[in-house]
């Protein structure tokens, strides 16, 4: 797990890439508050090196969580180090990720998620604790064949399908060759049960072609095409950049194969949901800081980092598990760690210390609660700030829990704190506990207030107002 960084393109290199690859279109991408890429494009004739200094204007009032209509003008500054040739466009297109600024003051926009991640990295360096935070997320997702959903005043439904889905074991509509992975048994038999090897390989090779290093890919536990592709770790902001490229690539490769990808945490009832375990470690001067002589080979700093994560986990969940659907996954019994404890090897703990290697450079902690619907810039920054708070305040995580939490008797389990049971509960926890995120102006009160208000108004309350299909099963004939 080398810490060496490859040379990234600058402005001159980007202009050379455009010329040498006969690029016709430059696509400018940026991240909205909720974590989705937005973009607009201009032709190579209109694109000059001055744009990197002067920026490009856009309407911030049309972007979720950004500006109001009377203060809508914003400006984008492309980051030359983010350049890659888009593998999905018909004409040669160069993709550039952008930072957002105020057009008058030219100051970085406080609600720009990428700017939050950059401020987090700057704060880490200024703290003197470390100079680098490495992140290695493990996103899970489903590759499906069909999706239908709709909601109106008098009906609401969803219907998903996959040729791999075990519910299709009795299908008689077309030729049925069997070999469907049973519920919770998709981890990880070979073909013909695993039908997605070639498709996942296409995703991996495409990721590598755009500059993202991949460690491994495989079928995941659930039936119906649940998948995991793991990227090699990188620094905080760079990994958040990579995760948005990852989503873009996996979704578009699936589309090319006539399939569709969802990163929803719990799209299928009665089987495992999709999480995103996040490996993280701190380094200084090229040396790992989490390796030591303590429990599971951890340093005292690493234990304090874990203490910060566990203490602030309810508030973190509002950002790392940011949807109402997230809490359909965070329930006992499906390998989703709802109990806030730590352990070596134990996958039922919220924080796990992987024990695959004795190399100090591989020593890290793994926060297992998050899911891939999060905004990676905000989620990684919030996790690091919680860990730093643990280090500053020497928050010890207590004794490890080296047993199967799901088999513990109720009287023992009562003393183990748990994650919030709903998005509303998590948002309330964030409202009460976010001072640790404000250090170094990494997050702002305005961003946190906007996040809470948006989520409550656009997601929590609308869900509470609508009848659920299962309520008809339970109550129609009462």
366 flagged as catalytic: yes
Per the residue annotation, which of 279, 364, 368, 434 is the catalytic one?
368
Catalytic residue among 112, 140, 234, 241: 140
First and final C-alpha spacing in the chain? 60
Report the half-sphere exposure of 277 (CA within 13 A, side-chain side). 20
CA atoms within 13 A on the CB side of 422: 10
| DSSP assignments along 273-321, one per residue | ---EEEEEEEEETTEESSBSSSGGGB-HHHHHHHHHHHHHHHHHHHHHS
Catalytic pick from 32, 241, 366, 459? 366
Q: Which of 179, 347, 466, 468 is catalytic?
A: 347
Is 146 an active-site residue?
A: no
- Catalytic, 368? Answer yes
The catalytically annotated residue of 16, 46, 54, 59 is 59
One of 163, 164, 228, 271 is an active-site residue; which one?
228
- Catalytic-labelled residue, pool 99, 220, 230, 424: 220
Active-site residue (options: 79, 86, 121, 138): 138
220 a catalytic residue: yes
* Whether 208 is catalytic: no
Q: For 187-235, where are the alpha helices, taking DSSP H only?
A: 197-209
Q: How far apart are alpha carbons 264 and 261 in whole angstroms?
A: 9
> How is residue 458 annotated by DSSP?
I
> Which residue out of 277, 279, 312, 364 is catalytically annotated?
277
Instruction: Give the DSSP H/E element, type plus range, for residue 53.
Output: helix 51-54
| Token pair listed for 339 | 């109990």
* DSSP code per residue over 108-128: BPTT-HHHHHHHHHHHHHHHS
Q: Report yes or no: 140 and 247 within 8 Å, Cβ to Cβ.
A: no
Residues in the chain: 478
Q: Is 347 annotated as catalytic?
A: yes
Indicate which residues carry an active-site annotation: 59, 138, 140, 220, 228, 277, 347, 366, 368
């Amino acid at each position: 797990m080398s810490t060496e960084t490859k040379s990234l393109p600058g402005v001159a290199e980007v202009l050379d890439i455009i010329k040498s690859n006969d690029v016709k279109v430059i696509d400018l991408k940026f991240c909205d508050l909720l974590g989705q890429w937005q973009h607009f494009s201009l032709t190579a004739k209109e694109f000059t090196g001055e744009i990197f200094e002067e920026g490009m204007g856009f309407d911030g009032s049309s972007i979720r969580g950004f500006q109001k209509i009377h203060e809508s003008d914003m400006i984008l500054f492309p980051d030359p180090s983010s350049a890659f040739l888009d593998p999905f466009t018909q004409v040669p297109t160069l993709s550039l990720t952008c930072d957002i600024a105020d057009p008058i003051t030219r100051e970085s926009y406080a609600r720009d998620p990428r700017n939050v991640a950059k401020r987090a990295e700057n704060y880490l360096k200024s703290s003197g604790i470390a100079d680098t935070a490495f992140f290695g997320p493990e996103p899970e997702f489903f590759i499906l064949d069909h999706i239908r959903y709709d909601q109106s005043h008098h009906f609401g439904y969803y219907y998903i399908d996959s040729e791999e889905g075990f519910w299709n074991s009795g299908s008689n509509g077309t030729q049925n060759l069997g070999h469907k992975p049973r519920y919770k048994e998709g981890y990880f038999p070979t073909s013909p049960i695993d039908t997605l090897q070639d498709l996942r390989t296409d995703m991996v090779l495409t990721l590598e072609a755009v500059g993202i290093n991949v460690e491994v890919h495989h079928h995941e536990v659930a039936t119906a095409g649940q998948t995991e592709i793991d990227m090699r770790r990188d620094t905080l902001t760079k990994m958040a950049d990579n995760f948005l490229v990852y989503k873009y690539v996996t979704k578009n490769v699936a589309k090319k194969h006539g399939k569709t990808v969802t990163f929803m945490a719990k799209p299928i009832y009665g089987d495992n949901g999709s999480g995103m375990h996040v490996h993280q470690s701190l380094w200084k001067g090229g040396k790992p800081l989490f390796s030591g002589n303590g429990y599971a080979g951890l340093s005292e700093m690493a234990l304090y980092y874990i203490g910060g994560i566990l203490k602030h986990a309810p508030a973190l969940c509002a950002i790392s598990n940011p949807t109402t659907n997230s809490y359909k996954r965070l329930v006992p019994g499906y390998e989703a760690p709802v109990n806030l404890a730590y352990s070596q090897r134990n996958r039922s703990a919220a924080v796990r210390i992987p024990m695959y290697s004795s190399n100090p450079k591989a020593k890290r902690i793994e926060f297992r609660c998050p899911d891939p619907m999060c905004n990676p810039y905000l989620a990684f920054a919030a996790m690091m700030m919680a860990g730093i708070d643990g280090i500053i305040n020497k928050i010890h995580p207590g004794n490890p829990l080296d047993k199967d939490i799901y088999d513990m008797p109720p009287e023992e389990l009562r003393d183990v704190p748990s994650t919030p049971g709903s998005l509303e509960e998590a948002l309330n926890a964030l409202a009460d506990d976010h001072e640790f995120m404000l250090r170094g102006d990494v997050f702002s009160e305005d961003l946190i207030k906007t996040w809470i208000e948006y989520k409550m108004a656009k997601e929590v309350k609308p869900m509470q107002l609508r009848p659920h299909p299962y309520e008809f099963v339970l109550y129609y004939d009462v």
